[in-house]
Copies of this chain bind each other. A is one copy, B any other.
Amino acid sequence: MEAMTIKQFIQNKLNLSIDGGNLPFPVHQKSFKKNEILTGLGEIERKVYFIVSGIAEINIFKDGDNRIVDFYFPNNFVCALTSFLLQEPSEAELVALTDLETEYLNYDDAQKAYQTSLLANQLGRKLVEEAYLVKFQREKDFLTKTADVRYLELMKARPDLLKQLPVHKIAEYLGIHPESLSRIRKAIIS
C-alpha cells in the first residue's frame, strides 16, 4: 500500500472534495521512535494522528493488568478516542510499535473546524462511524470466533504484520498465550 497524507486520504479514500484545495484545519508532522509513547495513560488526548508509515499500538487497560491490544496501520487515523471526545484522562495508551511517521491535527483546531466546515464534520463523522464499527466487530469476533479462525483472518488481512511483529505481540492481539499461538501455527503448517 502506498504512503498517503491526510489530504490524499480524504480525497482518494473517503472521496470527499476539498474546497479550494485547503483543509479546514492545520496539519502537522511528527516522527516517533519504536516504543515511544504518543499518548500516555492518564493523559488527556489532544491530537488525532494519521499514520503515514509504521504501526501504532493501543492498550486499553480494563481491570488491573487485563488489557485489550489493538494495532493501527498506515493510512489510518488513531488516537485515544474516548479521552479525545470527553477531554478526560485516557484509560488507553498509544505507543509506537515500530518507528512511526505521522501527520496530526489538534483538538482545538478540530473543534473550531466543526463549527463551520462541512468537510471537517464529514471527516469526523466517517472516522467515528468507522471506530464504532471496528469496536463492534472486534468484540463480536472475540465472542464468536476461535483463536485459530482469528489468526487465519489476520494472516489473510495483514500478511505484512506477521513479518514485522514478534510472536508475543500477535498473541496479545489475539488474546491468547504465546504457546497457544505456536500450536496454532504448527497445526496450520502441517
Contact = CB atoms under 8 A, between A and B. Distances in A.
Contact of A125 (B121, B133, B143): B121
Interface in A120-144: 121-122, 124-125, 128-129, 131-133, 135-136, 139-140, 143-144
Interface residues of A, number: 26
A105 B6 CA distance: 32
A185 to B, nearest CB: 26
B143 A63 contact: yes
Given A118-B116, A121-B121, A125-B121, A63 B132 contact: no
Interface in A78-121: 81-82, 85-86, 91, 114, 116-118, 121
B133 A135 contact: no
Contacts of A91: 140
Contact of A128 (B62, B114, B117, B132): B132
A10 B52 CA distance: 37
A101 B85 CA distance: 31
26 contacts: A62-B143, A62-B144, A63-B144, A82-B132, A82-B133, A82-B136, A85-B129, A91-B140, A114-B122, A117-B118, A118-B118, A118-B121, A121-B121, A121-B124, A121-B125, A124-B125, A125-B125, A125-B128, A128-B128, A128-B129, A128-B132, A132-B132, A132-B135, A135-B135, A135-B136, A139-B139
